[in-house]
Amino acid sequence: MSLEQIIIVVETILIMIGGGYIFNQYQQQKKQQGEIAEVDELTGDLSRASMVILGDIVFEQARVRNSTFSVAMIDLDNFGDINDTYGFDVGDKVLTSVAQVLQQHKRQGDKISRWRGQGWLMLLPESSATEAQRVFERIQSALYEHDFSFKDKRTVTVSMGVAELCTDDTCFDDIAKRADTVLFHAKQDGKNQLKVSQPERELD
């Protein structure tokens, strides 16, 4: 699929999930910010810049509608070791394979962007942290079953940090940062697991 075709698909999805509202807001934000890379070249996921625009719109929409949504930060475990052991070409193939697994096992309305080198952000509209946990469990199982073609049968895992919209959040970035914080704890506590942000505890 060409870059132009991917962009058409992205914009079609935005129309479908927002009845035109999210798509129109997205287009306006793009005009204000100038040209941006809409998709990640390696994985085909939304770019970080595109997700920031979409996340801001979903945040404002949730406030107006008094609804909720969740953000999941996902990070590939031990990716540096994969690159060191097998080389960067294999590392890139692992990234694209994991990206495919994420796309295949998210829910229909969820959106995924490549947030940084070995990490993704998943936006889950109208979703609680509990629903995000169920998505993570599907991803875990799928990665365990996926054949990455390593000679030593290495298992590929991810860690996830989840934050649900709360009253103290003032923008999309607040939620993303909370998800990133608990992702760090998931990595520190052994990896291959999910941690959920608890705003009340984090403020203590």
The pLDDT assigned to 86 comes to: 93
- 173: tokens are 């970035």
- CATH for 3-203, options being 3.30.70.270, 3.40.47.10, 2.60.120.10, 2.150.10.10: 3.30.70.270
Q: Which of 73, 41, 42, 40 lies closest to 55 in space, CA to CA?
A: 73
Q: Please give the Cα distance from 33 to 100 (Å, whole number).
A: 29
The pLDDT assigned to 8 comes to: 44
The one-digit pLDDT tens for each residue of the chain (204 residues) are 444 444 444 554 554 455 455 555 555 655 555 556 688 999 999 999 999 999 999 999 999 999 999 999 999 999 999 999 999 999 999 999 999 999 999 999 999 999 999 999 999 999 999 999 999 999 999 999 999 988 787 899 999 999 999 999 999 999 999 999 999 999 999 999 999 998 764 444
Strand blocks (E) in the chain: 69-76, 111-116, 119-125, 158-164, 194-196
Q: Show me where the domains of the chain are located.
A: 3-203
